[in-house]
């Protein structure tokens, strides 16, 4: 299931690494055909503590981070805020390739192993059995 991305205004930024975002939606009433506004509050994770009240932000659905937090801030006013994931940070620090390059290198290693296997001389099964009989 794809993650939902919503856009809303920050109402509260008092808590550490947490912001409260109000998302407004407009929808048409099924019977009366009148447009109605509905607002919903979401608590979102702001890792860098950069969001302030009144700013327009984008939030993305994520795993539960606390009892009420299930969203994370990914951008504000057209800027991308979401830092790389911890696993990607570790790989970049240690000098390993990112995920796309890693997949390519993994494929190359598999090919190398395959060619080594094919190049190695194979012992016949009958030779092994005859050696076992001689030893016994």
pLDDT tens digits, one per residue of 20-31: 999 999 999 999
Instruction: Please indicate whether residue 52 or residue 114 has the higher confidence score (pLDDT).
Output: 52
Q: Indicate whether 118 pLDDT > 90.
A: no
Q: Where are the domains of the chain?
A: 5-83
Q: Can you tell me the distance from the alpha carbon of 121 to that of 134, in angstroms, rounded to the nearest whole number?
A: 23
Q: Can you tell me the distance from the alpha carbon of 105 to that of 86, in angstroms, rounded to the nearest whole number?
A: 21
Q: Which tens digit of pLDDT belongs to each residue from 68-113?
A: 999 999 998 877 766 545 544 554 455 555 555 566 677 777 777 7
Helix (H) or strand (E) holding 126: helix 125-135
What SS3 class is residue 79?
Answer: strand
Q: Indicate whether 17 pLDDT > 90.
A: yes
3 closest CA partner among 52, 49, 38, 44 = 44
Q: Write down the pLDDT at residue 88.
A: 47
- CATH domain 5-83 topology: OB fold (Dihydrolipoamide Acetyltransferase, E2P) (2.40.50)
Q: Write down the pLDDT at residue 98.
A: 55
Q: Can you tell me the distance from the alpha carbon of 19 to that of 12, in angstroms, rounded to the nearest whole number?
A: 6
């Amino acid at each position: 299931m794809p993650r939902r991305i919503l856009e809303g205004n920050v109402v509260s930024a008092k808590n550490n690494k947490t912001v409260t975002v109000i998302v407004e939606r407009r929808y048409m009433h099924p019977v009366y055909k009148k447009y109605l506004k509905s607002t919903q509050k979401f608590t979102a994770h702001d890792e860098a503590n950069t969001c302030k009240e009144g700013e327009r932000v984008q939030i993305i659905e994520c795993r539960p981070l606390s009892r009420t937090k299930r969203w994370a801030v990914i951008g504000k006013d057209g800027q991308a805020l979401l830092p790389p994931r911890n696993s990607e940070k570790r790989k970049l620090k240690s000098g390993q390739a990112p995920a796309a390059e890693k997949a390519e290198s993994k494929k190359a290693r598999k090919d190398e192993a395959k060619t080594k296997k094919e190049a190695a001389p194979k012992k016949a099964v009958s030779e092994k059995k005859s050696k076992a009989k001689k030893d016994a």
